[in-house]
Structure 1
Amino acid sequence: MGNRSLLLVGITGFIIGLVLTLQTRPTLMEFGAVSWMPSMVSISIVREIGPIITALVCAGRIGSGIGAELGSMRVTEQIDAMEVSGTNPFKYLVVTRVLAATLMLPLLVIVADAVALFGSYLVENTKGNVSFMLYFNQVFNSLEYSDMLPATIKTFFFGLAIGLVGCFKGYYCKKGTAGVGKAANSAVVFTSLLLFIIDFIAVLIADIFYEL
């Protein structure tokens, strides 16, 4: 599940780092604040852009896959056969996938964040001749626990949402081949909406907590 999404997540993160830096650098140069680029990019990526973009990519890649897989098992009556044989399909098909999605998403976000920051460094090194040590020294100096902890915690909920919605849509898929397609499609749509809701709630809670 997670290993098959690693390349896609890595490429996405790398492009995000490149684009974010290329788009932001001219504006910072106008104000003479280009030296703040590593700090601004790292906080933006770690706090918000990395987690939510990675989760959306995984919703399309993993959520639809789970929905289609369980949907096809429902249509071909494999789930019914497990129930008849006395095997609990919920335990073996749903719980395992939800746990896998919950645990692997934070790891994928870490990879995406790291690759995005490396992409940002490449732009800064090309445009401003900034060394690797100088760039990442500023990155680590600018990041605090208040940036990393809430972002890490919400990724577990992102993974949980992807697994739950994908399994629900697939497990209760309607009969027929069209039902499998609808299950996969609706899994992506509902998961994407749920991810934004979770993200908003997480940011709101973090904002209230760190203001106290």
Structure 2
Amino acid sequence: MYATLKNRALVFLNEVGEFSIFGSRFFKEIIKSPFQVNEFIRQCYVIGYKSLPLVTITAFIMGLVLTIQSRPTMTKFGAESWLPSMVSLSLIREIAPVITALICAGKIASGIGAELGAMKVTEQIDAMEVSAINPFNYLVVTRILATTFMIPLLVIYADLIGIFGGYIGYNVKGSIGIYRYFSAVFEHLEFIDLLPAVIKTFFFGFFIGLIGSYKGFTASNGTASVGIAANESVVIASLSIFLIDMITVQITDLFF
């Protein structure tokens, strides 16, 4: 049993080392020319625009359900008028960033892992190297940058949709005008509530792209490795989101 644990520890440490080297290579390649602008824009479209329907539905349901579930408790304590503020703060500071990032980890990280894994297995990446094209710059850098910039935009969009979902949920068993509702939302909402939440989404996006690209780019031979790369991308990216969120919450608590 000791030998088994030792082997697993060595495999884990080796994986961490290779991942670190892969991440450091990204920062080296990002400053090299030429930068693949067209591929970057295409990835922004694929990662950002094509994720809007899923993010819209998820965010709307989050705001709707949170409002409906919280209303009885708030009414019990005579704080029903604070419901819009409570829902908006909960969504913006924690719920919307984490849930949206998890949804994107499931959709985007798995897609990147499967796509690059298939290219690795079918030797398309090797063909790019033979053609004097830098596959890391073309495939990895563009995808990581796209996720880093698109995830924060998707989260801000999810915040707005979630707050609107809260408005619909509030009117299920009550009646409030949209102007009064949003006035109540922004009454207790400050810029400092939005800033830490947005900053951590850049880290969410970076690691979603980095993990998906790493798993796909380093996939082993065989068609089964494509599925493994996609599955591991989702699992590890989701765990990294929770880890980053835990760290950022502690930092936010200290400085804000």
TM-score > 0.5, shorter chain as reference? yes
| Residue number among 180, 197, 204 corresponding to 1:158 in the alignment | 204
| Residue number among 166, 169, 183 corresponding to 2:215 in the alignment | 169
Q: Residue 155 of structure 2 aligns to which amino acid in structure 1?
A: V
Shift, 1:85, TM fit: 1.9
| Residue number among 141, 154, 170 corresponding to 1:95 in the alignment | 141
Listed one character per residue, the Cα deviations across residues 136-164 of structure 1 (whole Å, up to 9, x for unaligned) are: 01111211122100001001110001000
SS at match of 1:130: coil
| Residue number among 185, 201, 214 corresponding to 1:139 in the alignment | 185
1:9-88 paired onto structure 2 within 5 Å: 9-88=55-134
Shift, 1:125, TM fit: 2.2
Listed one character per residue, the Cα deviations across residues 60-86 of structure 1 (whole Å, up to 9, x for unaligned) are: 000000000000000000001111222
Listed one character per residue, the Cα deviations across residues 15-58 of structure 1 (whole Å, up to 9, x for unaligned) are: 00111011100011111110000110000000000000000000
Distance 1:30 1:204 in 2: 31
| Residue number among 122, 126, 148 corresponding to 2:194 in the alignment | 148
Q: Residue 225 of structure 2 aligns to which amino acid in structure 1?
A: G
From the CA coordinates, give the structure whose radius of gyration is larger: 2
Deviates more, 1:125-134 or 1:146-155: 125-134
Q: Residue 49 of structure 2 aligns to which amino acid in structure 1?
A: N
Shift, 1:110, TM fit: 1.1
Match of 1:130 in 2: 176
Shift, 1:96, TM fit: 0.1
Distance 1:33 1:100 in 2: 42
Match of 2:43 in 1: none
Distance 1:2 1:64 in 2: 15
Listed one character per residue, the Cα deviations across residues 97-146 of structure 1 (whole Å, up to 9, x for unaligned) are: 00000000011111111111101101212322011011101111211122
CA contact (8 A) 2:65 2:169 kept: no
> What CA RMSD, in Å, does the superposition of the two structures yield over aligned residues?
0.7
Number of equivalent positions: 210
Question: TM-score, normalized by length of structure 1?
Answer: 0.97
1:110 aligns with 2:156: yes
| Residue number among 229, 236, 244 corresponding to 1:183 in the alignment | 229
Q: Residue 39 of structure 1 aligns to which amino acid in structure 2?
A: S
Which runs of 4 or more aligned residues in structure 1 lie more than 4 Å from their structure 2 counterparts after TM superposition?
A: none
Name stretches of at least 5 consecutive residues in structure 1 with no aligned partner.
none
Name stretches of at least 5 consecutive residues in structure 2 with no aligned partner.
1-46
Listed one character per residue, the Cα deviations across residues 156-175 of structure 1 (whole Å, up to 9, x for unaligned) are: 11000100000000000111
Deviates more, 1:148-157 or 1:120-129: 120-129
| Residue number among 189, 203, 208 corresponding to 2:254 in the alignment | 208
SS at match of 1:126: coil
